[in-house]
Structures are given as structure tokens and as C-alpha cells.
Amino acid sequence: MKKYICTVCDWVYDPEVGDPDGGIAPGTAFEDLPEDWVCPVCGVGKEDFQVVED
């Protein structure tokens, strides 16, 4: 699964880790995050994330 980076604060969403503090279980793909999910660091929405290129 691909990682996604916040274009505002550079926090990386890693699907292998999820977002435990936000109630997102490990193994949750970015595409499967709820539409109202926000970056746990700066609070922007999914539209402000982009794929981390290897």
C-alpha cells in the first residue's frame, strides 16, 4: 500500500500503521479513510495529501 504525505505539514500517512489516535486501524488504505478524516498534525483534509513516490 502506498504512503501519502500531507502537503501542508509533511506528516506521512502509512497504511501499515494507520492513525491509532484518530481511530484508524493499521492496514487501512488511504482510499478507505473516511471522507471527514483530517491530518492529525495540522487538520487539513485528504485533498491536501499526495502519494509518496519511492
* Each residue's pLDDT tens digit, 13-36: 999 999 999 999 999 999 999 999
pLDDT band at 7 (very low <50, low <70, confident <90, very high): very high
Quickly state the pLDDT bin for 39 (edges 50, 70, 90). very high
Predicted confidence (pLDDT) at residue 53 exceeds the cutoff of 90: no
Distances in whole angstroms, Cα of residue 40 to Cα of each of 16, 18, 26, 51: 16, 11, 15, 17
Write down the pTM of the prediction: 0.93
> How far apart are alpha carbons 53 and 25 in whole angstroms?
23
21 secondary structure, DSSP code: G
Give the pLDDT of residue 34.
97
Mean pLDDT throughout 44-48? Answer: 98
Strand partners, 28: none
